[in-house]
Structure 1
Amino acid sequence: MSIGLWLKGARPKTLAASIASVMVGAAMARVHIEQMGTCVAVYPEPAYCAVNRAQQDLLLGRFWMVTFLCLLVALFLQIAVNYANDYSDGVRGTDAGRGGSESQSGKPQRLTESGLVPAKHVFIAAIICAGIACVCGIAAIVISQAWWLFAVGAASLVAGWFYTGGKHPYGYVGLGEVGVFLFFGLAAVLGTEYALCGMVDVGGLLGAVAAGLFSCHILMVNNLRDIDEDREHNKRTLAVRMGESGARTLLIVCCVIAWIIALLMCGTLWWPWGVVLLLSGAGVPVRMISSVKKHAFGPALGAASFQTLLFAVVLALSVAL
C-alpha cells in the first residue's frame, strides 16, 4: 500500500482532462474580464465605465484563487471517480485479468482487483477525494457567489458514482462518453468560466465542446483497449456496441471536430500564430489514431492526454498574447 501504488490507482494519464477543462474555462473568462475594462473615450466619462472597472478589479483580484480552487475541484473529483471506478469494477469482477503488474498484463493495474489494497480502503479513498473536492468547491462558490454551481457540483458527484457504481451504472450501457462530454466538457469549462466572471458566452461554449470531445478521446482509447474484456463481462461500452471498427471511426470523427473548433478559437484569438502553434502538434492526433489501429494503446492514451493539454495551453497563450 505504497504511495506509488495509490498514484497508479489515481490513473494520472487521465488527469489531463481535468486540468485542460479548467484552463479553457479560465482562459475564456479572462477574455471577458479584460473586455470589461474597455470603455468609450468621451468626457465626461459615462457612469457605467467606472462601474465596469470596479467589477473588473474585483474579478481580477480573485481570479487566480478561484482558478486554483476550480482546478483542485476538478482534479480531486476525477481522482475520486477513478477510485470509485476501480472499486466498482473490482467488486463486479469486470477488472479480472488486471491483478498483475502493468508489464505483465499489458494494462494498468487495478487496486481492488490486484488484492494489494482492500476494496473498502479504495472506497474510502474515493470518499476522501470527493470530500476534498466538495470543500474546495464550496470555497470557490462562496468567494465567487456563483450559487447555482452547488447544483452542478452535486450532479457531478452523482454522475461520478453512477458511472460504474450502483445497480444500473450508465458506463455499462454505452453512455460513458456522454457523461465525460457533459461533465469534463460543459460542466467543468462553463462552471469555471461562470465562477470567474459571472457569465458564460459563445466562446466558452465552443471551448467546452472542444474540451469535452478531447476528454472523450481518452475514454474512447481506454474502451477500445478493453473491448474484449468488457464484452466478456457484459460491460456494454460504446466501443462494444459499435464494434472496434465503428469505435475507431467515431474516434476519428470526434478528433476532427475537436481540432476544427480548437483551430477556429486559437486563430480568432491570436491570428495567425495561434493556428501555427496548435498545428505544430498536429502529429499528436495522427499518432493517437495510428497507435489505436496498431493496438498500441499505451502510446495512444499518452497522445490523447497530450493533445487535450496542448489545446488548453495554446488557447491560454492565445488569450495572453
Structure 2
Amino acid sequence: MQAQVQTGTPHIPESNRGFRAWWQLTRPHTLTAAFVPVFLGTALALLVGKIHFGLFFAMLLASLLIQAATNMFNEYYDYKRGLDTEHSIGIGGAIVRDGIKPRTVMQLALILYGISLLLGIYICIETSWWLAVIGSASMLCGYLYTGGPYPIAYTPFGELFAGFFMGCLIILISFFIQTGYVSGTSILVSIPVSILVGAILLANNIRDHDGDKDFGRKTLAILLGREHAIHFLAGMFIAAYLLVAVFIAVGLASAWTAIVILSAPKAIKAVKGFRAGGVPIQMMPAMKATAQTNTIFGFLLSIGLLFGYFL
C-alpha cells in the first residue's frame, strides 16, 4: 500500500529523541562506504612514500560527514515525498518515528556539508585546488541522489554513481593528496571496492523493491526484478573477488591480498539472506552483511597490500 504524504511530524515523546535517534539519522551501516575507500587509497599511497596524517584525517572526516549528510538528505526527501511513514522498515525514519523536525534534518545536513567544505579547503591548500572542483561535484551528487527534480535514487544509475563517487573517487583522491598524482595501479585497485560500495545501495534497493515500485521509482532492482537483482548482487560479489585474483595473477598485487577471501562468508550470508527473506524486515540482516562485506574486504585488501610490500 502506498504511504501518504505527511503534513506534519507525529507527536513523539522527548525520550525517543535521544542520542540513538540522532546516531541512526546518520545511517551508520552505510558509513563504511566512506571510510574504507580512504583507508585503501592511503594504504596505496604508503606503498610509494610517506603519509601526511593531517591530510589523512581531514579526508577521512570529510568523507564521513558527506556520507552522513547524504543520508540526511535522503531522510528529508523521502519524508517530503511520502516514501517514509511510521510503518516503514529500515534504519531511516528519524522524522516519522523519532519526531525530529524535517527542517532540523536539512539544517544538520547543510552544517555537515559546511564542515566538509572547510576540511576540503584545508586539503586544497595543502595539495591542489583542482580538488575543489572534484569535491564540489561529489557533494552535488550526494544532494542530487534524492534531492532536485530528478533524483538519482529514482533511476537505475544509483549504484553506478555511488560506486564511482563514494568508491573510486574517494580512493583516488586519498591517494592523490598523499602522492601528488594518480597511478594506474590505484585506478585498477579501486574497482573491486567501488563494486562493493554499489552493492550496498543495491542491497538497500532489493529490500525496498516493492515499496519503491509503488512510489514510481525505477531503481536497478526494479528494472531487473527482485530475483534477478539478487543474482546481480551475487555477481557483484564474485566480480570483486575475481578482480583481486586477477591482480595477483598479473603481479599487480601480492599473494597477501588473497586474504580478502576471509570476507566471503559475509557475502554468502547476504545473498542467502535476500533469497530467504520475503518481507523487508527479514532482509535487514542481509543488508547488514552486505555492508560488512565491503568493510572487511576493504580492510583486508589494504592489509594485504601493505603486508606484500613490507614483508
TM class, shorter-chain normalised? 0.7 to 0.9
1:31-80 Cα shifts (integer Å, max 9, x gaps): 222xxxxxxxxxxxxxxxxxxxxxxxxxx2x5221111111111000000
Matched, 1:300 2:286: yes
Matched, 1:246 2:228: yes
**Aligned length, in residue pairs:** 286
Q: Distance in 2 between matches of 1:226 and 1:66?
A: 37
Q: Distance in 1 between matches of 2:181 and 2:158?
A: 28
- The TM-score normalised by the length of structure 1 is 0.84
- Which range moved further: 248-257 or 218-227? 248-257
Unaligned runs of 5+ in 2: 1-16
Cα 1:136/1:266, change in 2 over 3 Å: farther
2:83 match: 94
Q: Is the 8 A contact 1:184 1:211 kept in 2?
A: no
Q: Distance in 1 between matches of 2:71 and 2:79?
A: 12
3-state DSSP class of the match of 2:47? helix
Matched, 1:233 2:222: no
Q: Is the 8 A contact 2:166 2:197 kept in 1?
A: yes
2:12 match: none
2:65 match: 76
Question: What is the identity percentage for the equivalent residue pairs of Structure 1 and Structure 2?
Answer: 26
Q: Distance in 2 between matches of 1:263 and 1:146?
A: 34
- Residue 137 of structure 1 is aligned with which of 120, 124, 128? 120
1:170 match: 152
How far residue 266 of structure 1 moved from its aligned partner, in angstroms, is 6.5
AA partner of residue 27 (structure 1):
A
User: Map of 1:180-195 to 2, 5 A cutoff?
Assistant: 180-195=162-177
AA partner of residue 196 (structure 1):
Q
1:114 match: 97
AA partner of residue 80 (structure 1):
A
Q: Is the 8 A contact 1:214 1:258 kept in 2?
A: yes
Q: Distance in 1 between matches of 2:167 and 2:92?
A: 27
Q: Is the 8 A contact 1:22 1:188 kept in 2?
A: yes
- Which range moved further: 131-140 or 110-119? 110-119
Unaligned runs of 5+ in 1: 34-59
User: Map of 1:250-261 to 2, 5 A cutoff?
Assistant: 250-261=232-243
How far residue 109 of structure 1 moved from its aligned partner, in angstroms, is 4.0
Max radius of gyration: which structure? 1
AA partner of residue 4 (structure 1):
R
Q: Is the 8 A contact 1:291 1:297 kept in 2?
A: yes
AA partner of residue 301 (structure 1):
M
AA partner of residue 234 (structure 2):
I
Matched, 1:125 2:108: yes
3-state DSSP class of the match of 2:263? coil
How far residue 92 of structure 1 moved from its aligned partner, in angstroms, is 0.5
Q: Is the 8 A contact 2:39 2:299 kept in 1?
A: yes
2:4 match: none
Q: Is the 8 A contact 2:263 2:297 kept in 1?
A: no
Q: Is the 8 A contact 1:263 1:278 kept in 2?
A: no
Cα 1:7/1:263, change in 2 over 3 Å: farther
1:201 match: 183
1:283-307 Cα shifts (integer Å, max 9, x gaps): 1211111111112422212221112
How far residue 264 of structure 1 moved from its aligned partner, in angstroms, is 4.1
Matched, 1:316 2:289: no
2:53 match: 64
3-state DSSP class of the match of 1:137? helix
1:108-143 Cα shifts (integer Å, max 9, x gaps): 241223360111001001101111111112112212
Q: Distance in 2 between matches of 1:68 and 1:265?
A: 28
Cα 1:132/1:125, change in 2 over 3 Å: same
Q: Distance in 2 between matches of 1:194 and 1:273?
A: 24
2:13 match: none
1:5 match: 21
1:212 match: 194
AA partner of residue 73 (structure 1):
A
How far residue 106 of structure 1 moved from its aligned partner, in angstroms, is 4.3
Q: Distance in 2 between matches of 1:110 and 1:182?
A: 27
The alignment's C-alpha RMSD in Å is 1.8
How far residue 315 of structure 1 moved from its aligned partner, in angstroms, is 2.2
- Residue 32 of structure 1 is aligned with which of 48, 53, 72? 48
Q: Is the 8 A contact 1:11 1:82 kept in 2?
A: yes
Q: Is the 8 A contact 2:77 2:147 kept in 1?
A: yes
Q: Is the 8 A contact 1:25 1:207 kept in 2?
A: no
AA partner of residue 113 (structure 2):
A
Q: Is the 8 A contact 2:273 2:286 kept in 1?
A: yes
Matched, 1:20 2:36: yes
Q: Distance in 1 between matches of 2:59 and 2:195?
A: 20
